Structure formats: C-alpha cells, structure tokens
Amino acid sequence: MKIKQLILQNFRPFYGRHTLTLTTTEDKPLVLIKANNDVGKTSVFMAIYFCLYGRLPLAYRGTNPREDLARHANRTARVKGNGRTFVKLIFEHKGKIYDIIRSIDFRKAELGELPEIESEGLDVYEGGEPQHFKDIEEYNDYIEAILPEDASQFFLFDGEDIQKYTQHPPTEDVRHAIEMVLGIRELLNAREDLEVIEQELGRDLNNFLAKVAQRSTEAKAVQELGNEIDKLREENRQLEKKMEELQEVIKSCDRELMKDMAIQEKVNERAIKEQEKARARDEIAAIKEEKRDFNRHIGVLLVNPLLEKLSEMGVSQVPDWKRTAISALLSWESDTCICEREITPEIRARFEELLDKKFEERPVEFLGERAVQLLLRTEGKALERRFYELESRKAGLETGLAACEDEIEKLNKEIGEQKDLSFDIRAKETTRKNAADDFETYRRKRDENNGIITEKNASLERMRNKLVDEEQMNKDIKLKSQHLQSCKDCKSAINVAIESLVDETRKEVQQLASDIFVNCLTNNPKLYRGIEITDNFELKIKTVAGTTLPVWIQAPSAGQSQIIATSFIAALNRYTAREAPVVIDTPIGRLDPVHKNNLIKYYPKIGPQIVILYQPNELTDTDIEPIGKYVSSEWHMTRDPANPDATIISKE
Amino acid sequence: MSSEQHIKKVLRTAEAKFNLREGVLTEIYNAEARVVHKGKRRNIRVDLRNILITALKEDDKK
C-alpha cells in the first residue's frame, strides 16, 4: 500500500478543501510535512487513520465515539452552518488504485459546542469501480485485508509513543500485532483452527465408529431376528409336513371308512335279510303246522263225499280198488297221518281204540258220522278259503324266502365271508378324529407362527431400513479417517512451519534490528552488541560487556528507548509481510542530536514510503539536508492569517 | 528474501516433510490471512475442512 493523495475538507483545523499529494518514488521515498505545534500534524495522521478505519487511533480516542466524530467537524465550518466534513484517501495497493471517502454531515453549532451529526458516509472505489458493502463488518474485512488495524501501529505511529515496545514485556495485543505483521499470526490461527477441526473430525470419526458398533449390534439383532424367522419358517415347514401326513391319514381313513361302511352296509343288509329269511322260515313252518291241522280236517272232508257215496251205494257197489284204498287208509301202518301229522303211539292207540270200537260195528257209518260232525263244525267254503289263503301265504313266504336267499347269496358273493366291521370302523373313526384334531392343532400353530413371522418380518424390514448401507458407511469412515489424518499432518506441518518461521523470522528481525541499532541509530555503537528478540518478541539489549537484559530492565534513556524501538519497528517494516507506508508523527521527540542525525539518515531505508510529520524544532533545514535527495515532496502547514482557527497547506 | 517469500518457502518445506500436496499449507495460510484480523470472530473452518480433504497426496490415501 502506498498513499497517493489525502484530501481534507472541513476536517479538524482544515477549513475548506485541502489536498496533500504524498506520492513517492523508489529513489525518493520521503514526504516531509512541517508544522508548528497545534497546527494539524496529528490531524493529518488522524485523517489517514480515520479514513481507513472509521475511528481514531487508540491513543486519541475519547470515551464517546459520536463526540470523536463531531470533533472532526472544523470549528469555523460548524459555526457557520450545516456542513460536511470530508476525508478522501487515495492509495495504490497491489497494482490497483483505491479511493476511500469518509464524510460527516453536521449541523450548525454554537462556538465552543460540538455539532450534531446528521449522517456519516463511506464510499469506496477500487480501480475506479464503486464497492458495495452490506454492512460495516464487510467493509472492515475489506480494509483489514489491505492493512489490518492491529498491524497499523507499526506503520502509523507517534515517534514518542513507540517506546512502549521497549518499556515492558509486550502485551498480548502487541505480540499478536507483531505476529500479524510478520505473517505468523495466520499460522498460529491455522494451528488453533486445525486443533478444533481435529477434535471435530475425531468426534465425527468416533460417531461413525459408534454408529458402526451400533450397526454391528443392530446387524446382529437383525441376524438374530432373521434366524428366529427362519426357525419359525422351518417349524412351519415341519408342521405342514406333519399336516400333509395327517391329511393323508385322514384321506386314507376316509377311503377305508367309505369302503368299510359300504361293506358294513351290506353286512347289515345281509343280516336283515337273514332275519327276514328266518322269519319267513318260521312263518312257513307255522303255516305248515296250521296246514297240518287243516289237512286233518280237509282229509275228512275229502273222504266224506266218498263215504257218503259209499253209504248210498253199499259196500258191494264200491269198486275193489276204492275199498282197498280205504282199507289201506284205515289200516295204514304208518307213523304219519295223511295230513302229515306224526301219529304218536298214544294217538294211534286212541285212534285204534276208536276204530276198533266203532269199525267192527259199522265202520262206514262211523266215518260218515265223523265227517258230518266235521262238516257241521266247519263250513266247507271257509275251509277252502282257508286252504287257499294258507297256500297263498305259504307261497308268498316261500317267494320272499327265496328272494332273501337270493339277496343273501348275492351279498355273500359281494362281501364273501365278511363279518361285522363296526369295530374296525370305530377304530378308524377314532384314528381319523385324532388325525383331524392333530391337524387342527398344527394348523393353529402354523397360523400363529405365520402371524409372528409377519410381525417379525415387519420389524426386520424396519431395522434393515434403519441400517445405512454398510459399504457407504465404511467409505465414510475411510474418508473421515483420511480427513483426520490430513488434518493431523497439516497441523504437524504448520507446527514445524511456525517453529521454523518464528525462529527464522525472529532471527532475521533480530539481525536487522541489531544492524539498524548498532550501525545506524545508536549514539554509542561501542557499548552495544545488538538487540535480542525473544520468542515472545520481548526486546533485550546485548552489551559488549556480555550482558543481555530486557530493555525495560536495562532502563535506558527515553531517547535510547525510542531508538531501540525505532530499530525494532524499522526491522519489522523491512521484513514485514505487509506492504504499507510509514507515517511518523513527532519523529524525533527527545532524541539527542547524534541519535537524531542517525535516525534522519536512516529514514529513507525504513520502507518504500515514509511520511514524516514534524515540527521545525525537530528537523531543521540543516538536519534535512543529508536526506534531501530522498524527498519526493515537502509540505508546510500554517495557520491561516485570516482565520487563526484554520490551517492552510502549502507545498514547499 | 521478503517475508512473504520466506513464509512460502517454509510452508513448502513443511509440506514436503509431511508428504502433503504441494500448496496445501499455502491455501490454509491464505484462508487464514483473509480473516486474520477477525480474532475469535473468524469462521473459516468449513473452508479449512475442504482444503484438508485434498491435503493428502493420492498415494497416501490407502
């Protein structure tokens, strides 16, 4: 960064518009601005700072920023009326021209009173293009990237104020500023950030690993659940196998039962037929018995007409064959009557007695009487009906019997000697019932298992869905692990870089500061060997006597301290990572003539652009003469003769 | 050698020592440089994480 121009309007003592052209060249890096006390040197210094950072340097800040702003309004201007304070800084940075314009609109104020600020303005142009910032933070980022405010203390400073770098061990703020100027702060911040990132990545990796562990547990649970489902499915397969076997048993039972029941039906039918047959036989026998009684009567009835005829005709007229037949009939030596009834001895005896008694006397009459008696007792037609009825019944029964026998024979042909199957059927029915009961039990168990399988499958599905793809997870872990490793490696590398940079930079700055101090600035080079800079950027003085003590302990004079600090700042500027102008207010302060001359001679070497704001007592024309060839421009600020409250700037 | 050049040299040396991709530390440095003034307010860890992803040389990603 190199300042080209500073334009001031109604800023502090500068009433109206004033322009300071501060352009320098490589061989003329100096700009001198001379002014008596209380004319405006510090205001120029303040204007540059205010334009860059929107506020005053720390040493000049009041308690109320608004009042600080109001104080920028030129006294003459604010008394005259409403107006505008305006500071424009034009500078070059890395090949581009920047314009930063700060303005303050103020209201008229009475003499001795601060004006009311109406508005503030900030306009920035980069390469002629207006820059837009959404807020002040964004602008701060913008300007800090050009020259950090913290680092500016080594570029824009009051010569009498720099003794602070020697009087006490540097505060943390100063140390940070030095680190920033030297480019170390970035690495320290990077190390801090990488430590945080390393922790975050470690946590991320741990979380991934924990997830994997959890996934492992979940995967195991899924596996176990899967095994349980498989076990249930296997159990169901066994159940279904048993059910199939039972179905076969049931079917077999059904088939056999159907067959047995068909047979049994025929067995039963045959039994019924047997019973019918037996009944028919019994009835036929009864009919035969009844017929025998009937025959006894009917025999007489049949003989009776014969006997009546015989009685009418007389025995002599009866043909021999008929008489023989009757005699044979009467004298028939048989145990069976013509009615087929058995003639027991008792019956025969009785019959013979009757025959003997009556037959000898008049046998035909006797028989005839007997027949008449029978006829009287039984009507002939009734006997006849009875006869045919019996015959009919007998014939019917015999037909039924024959039918029964046919049926029985037919059944026998069908079922052979098959006996009653009721027991077998009951046994098979029991077997079938048991099989059906078992089947139902297994079916219920299978259905219950299917329900459980469905539920478990749903759980399994949910658990599976919860599991992220294993391969992706492993990939993530690998990536995270690599990420962590790269973080660790970068952090280690940055640590090495910090150690190296701090050490080398410190040595470089230390060497530069020592050279500047011993060879250029000190008034007693034979007493000092140089400046030592500790790791914490504490300044120590090395004497030829061999002592190395902190500057603030060695307690040199104020001038000597200023020279040491200047040496340090000059070294920093020579070695800085920041390119910036050096603007020194009150450069000489309390330096003795030797120190002053040394310092003046050294000014051109401090940096590429040095603006020196001095009062005539600090630097005389004689003092300036040795560095005259390095001066690009000289400016003189004086009170306006017409307005003692205003400063005018003129180029010499 | 200027401070800037010196820093780059130191970073390159450190990159080589830890077998890091060339320029990765400079990227980290530049990211920090953009926000160095912000103190605790800086928040570039996302940027740094992205740089770190490519920090290792391909051969080392095993």
Contact, A530 vs A565, CB < 8 A? no
Residue B18 lies in a domain: yes
Which of A123, A70, A77 is CA-nearest to residue A100?
Answer: A123
Which of A8, A100, A2, A42 is CA-nearest to residue A649?
Answer: A8
Task: Report whether pLDDT(A341) > 70.
Answer: no
* Average pLDDT over all residues of chain A: 83
Name every chain A residue with its beta carbon within 8 A of the beta carbon of B14.
Answer: 493-494, 496-497, 500
Q: Which of B3, B49, B52 sits opposite A183 (nearest CB)?
A: B3
A1 Cα distance to chain centroid = 54
Interchain proximity A197–B52, CB inside 8 Å = yes
Which of A59, A64, A73 is CA-nearest to residue A15?
Answer: A73
Highest mean pLDDT among A366-375, A473-482, A602-611, B52-61: A602-611
- Segment A506-520 shows an average pLDDT of 85
Task: Report whether pLDDT(A87) > 70.
Answer: yes
Q: Please give the Cα distance from A617 to A34 (Å, whole number).
A: 10
Best B1, B2, B10 member to test A by mutation, with max A CBs in 10 Å, is: B10
pTM of the model: 0.60
Question: Bridge partners of A543?
Answer: A528
Residue B62 lies in a domain: no
pLDDT given for residue A632 in this prediction: 95
Q: Which of B3, B38, B60 sits opposite A182 (nearest CB)?
A: B3
Q: Please give the Cα distance from A526 to A76 (Å, whole number).
A: 54
pLDDT, tens digit, 9 for 90 and up, residues A21-46? 999 999 999 999 999 988 999 999 99
Interchain proximity A486–B56, CB inside 8 Å = yes
DSSP secondary structure code for residue A625 in this structure: G
- Segment A337-364 shows an average pLDDT of 57
Q: Which of A187, A201, A577 sits opposite B3 (nearest CB)?
A: A577
Q: State both tokens at A21.
A: 């052209």
The Cα of B33 is separated from the nearest Cα of chain A by a number of Å equal to 6
Residue with tokens 């009684």: A293
pLDDT given for residue A446 in this prediction: 92
Name every chain A residue with its beta carbon within 8 A of the beta carbon of B7.
Answer: 183, 501, 577
> Beta strand A30-35 with A631-640: parallel, antiparallel or unpaired?
parallel
* Percentage with pLDDT > 90 across chain A: 29
Confidence of residue A73 (pLDDT cuts 50, 70, 90): very high
pLDDT, tens digit, 9 for 90 and up, residues A554-609? 766 777 788 888 888 888 887 775 678 999 988 887 788 888 888 888 888 888 89
pLDDT given for residue A385 in this prediction: 75
pLDDT, tens digit, 9 for 90 and up, residues A89-128? 999 998 899 999 999 999 999 988 999 999 999 999 999 9
Kindly list the domain boundaries of chain A, sorted by start residue: 1-22+33-147+582-592+609-619+627-652, 216-426
Interchain proximity B52–A487, CB inside 8 Å = yes
Name every chain A residue with its beta carbon within 8 A of the beta carbon of B19.
Answer: 489
| Sheet with strand A539-543: strands edge to edge | A528-533, A539-543, A548-550
Residue with tokens 């910036």: A580
| Sheet with strand A30-35: strands edge to edge | A156-158, A582-585, A610-614, A30-35, A631-640, A643-651
Of A134 and A324, which is predicted with more confidence?
A: A134
Interchain proximity B55–A489, CB inside 8 Å = yes
Read off φ and ψ for residue A288, nearest 5 degrees.
-60, -40
Q: Which of A187-196, A257-266, A335-344, A550-559 has the lowest mean pLDDT?
A: A335-344
pLDDT, tens digit, 9 for 90 and up, residues B13-53? 999 999 898 999 999 998 888 887 665 556 788 888 888 88
Of A148 and A83, which is predicted with more confidence?
A: A83
Interchain proximity A500–B13, CB inside 8 Å = yes
pLDDT given for residue A387 in this prediction: 75
* CB hemisphere CA count around A581 (13 angstroms): 29
pLDDT, tens digit, 9 for 90 and up, residues A381-421? 666 777 788 888 888 888 888 988 998 888 888 888 878 88
Read off φ and ψ for residue A193, nearest 5 degrees.
-65, -40
Confidence of residue A375 (pLDDT cuts 50, 70, 90): low
Using the CB atoms, write b or e for A142-180: b if 16+ within 10 Å. ebbebbbbbbbbbbbbbbbbbbbbbeeebeeebbbbbbb
Long-range contacts of A540-544 (CB under 8 A, 24+ apart): A542/A514
Task: Report whether pLDDT(A318) > 60.
Answer: no
Residue with tokens 């006996």: A419
CATH of segment(s) A1-22+33-147+582-592+609-619+627-652: 3.40.50.300
pLDDT given for residue A327 in this prediction: 52
pLDDT given for residue A413 in this prediction: 87
Number of domains comprising chain B: 1
pLDDT given for residue A630 in this prediction: 95
Task: Report whether pLDDT(A365) > 60.
Answer: no
pLDDT, tens digit, 9 for 90 and up, residues A271-301? 899 999 999 899 988 888 887 776 666 665 5
Q: Which of A141, A197, A494 sits opposite B14 (nearest CB)?
A: A494
Q: Please give the Cα distance from A181 to A552 (Å, whole number).
A: 23
Best B32, B45, B53 member to test A by mutation, with max A CBs in 10 Å, is: B32
Signed CA dihedral, A328, A330, A333, A337: sign only: positive
Interchain proximity B37–A140, CB inside 8 Å = yes
Q: Please give the Cα distance from A124 to A50 (Å, whole number).
A: 14
Using the CB atoms, write b or e for A201-237: b if 16+ within 10 Å. beebbeebeebbeebeeeeeebeebeeebeebeeebe
pLDDT given for residue B24 in this prediction: 92
SS3 A92: strand
B42 shares contact with chain A (CB less than 8 Å): yes
Q: Please give the Cα distance from A578 to A45 (Å, whole number).
A: 19
Signed CA dihedral, A372, A376, A377, A380: sign only: positive
The Cα of A29 is separated from the nearest Cα of chain B by a number of Å equal to 19
B3 shares contact with chain A (CB less than 8 Å): yes
- Segment A629-652 shows an average pLDDT of 88
B27 shares contact with chain A (CB less than 8 Å): no
Kindly write down the DSSP assignment for every residue of A125-171, as one continuous string: EETTEEE--SSHHHHHHHHHHHS-TTGGGGTEEETTTTTHHHHSSPP
Q: Please give the Cα distance from A146 to A1 (Å, whole number).
A: 7
Interchain proximity B14–A193, CB inside 8 Å = no
Q: Please give the Cα distance from A472 to A524 (Å, whole number).
A: 73
Q: Which of A148, A183, A486 sits opposite B7 (nearest CB)?
A: A183
Residue B61 lies in a domain: no
Q: Which residue of B has its CA nearest to A187?
A: B29
Question: Bridge partners of A440?
Answer: none
- Segment A129-137 shows an average pLDDT of 89
Name every chain A residue with its beta carbon within 8 A of the beta carbon of B23.
Answer: none
Q: Please give the Cα distance from A203 to A329 (Å, whole number).
A: 142
Interchain proximity A504–B6, CB inside 8 Å = yes
Which amino acid makes up residue A318?
Answer: V
Contact, A582 vs A610, CB < 8 A? yes
Name every chain B residue with its beta carbon within 8 A of the beta carbon of A201.
Answer: 49
Q: Please give the Cα distance from A586 to A558 (Å, whole number).
A: 14
Which of B24, B14, B12 is CA-nearest to residue B57?
Answer: B24
Beta strands in A350-468 (DSSP E): none
Q: Which residue of A has its CA nearest to B58?
A: A482
Name every chain B residue with its beta carbon within 8 A of the beta carbon of A490.
Answer: 18, 20, 24-25, 28, 52, 55
> Beta strand A14-21 with A539-543: parallel, antiparallel or unpaired?
unpaired
Which of A158, A46, A252, A191 is CA-nearest to residue A493?
Answer: A191
Q: Which of A141, A497, A576 sits opposite B10 (nearest CB)?
A: A497
Name every chain A residue with its beta carbon within 8 A of the beta carbon of B24.
Answer: 490
Task: Report whether pLDDT(A54) > 80.
Answer: yes
Residues 6 or more apart whose CB falls under 8 angstroms from that of A127 comprise A96, A97
Count how many pairs of residues, chain A against chain B, have C-beta atoms within 8 Å. 119
